[in-house]
Amino acid sequence: MKIKLDIECTPQEARIFFGLPDVEKMQEAIMKELQDRMIENISGLDPEKMMKTWLPASMKGFDQMQNMFWSSLSGDKGGSDSKE
């Protein structure tokens, strides 16, 4: 035997029916705090700082990174300084 029951109600009505707490004000406060933090972090982004953060400190520049990629693709384990 199957019984199918369709109930139309809003999420708030369902929470009240099941006795769940109303967390709408807390959720709004948390979302506002997250939004404020994200805006603060985005406004402080400097492309130079981001590149320094993303690239390892041992790399001097893009030429060195490019040489590293090319040497790894060609199978040269010693880098540009190795002699064949």
- What single string gives the DSSP state of each residue in 51-82? HHHHS-TT---HHHHHHHHHHHHHT-TTGGG-
- CB-neighbour burial class of residue 15 (10 A; exposed 0-12, middle 13-18, buried 19+): middle
Asked whether 67 and 79 are in contact (CB, 8 A), the reply is yes
The tokens describing 65, both together, are 């990174």
Terminal C-alpha separation, the chain: 80
Phi–psi pair at 5, nearest 5 degrees = -130, 120
The tokens describing 30, both together, are 């948390």
Question: What contacts 77, CB < 8 A, 6 or more positions away?
Answer: 71
Domain ranges of the chain: 10-52
Q: Comparing 7-16, 25-34, 63-72, which segment has the lowest mean pLDDT?
A: 63-72
Summarize pLDDT for 42-76 with one digit per residue, the tens. 777 777 777 777 766 555 667 777 888 888 888 76
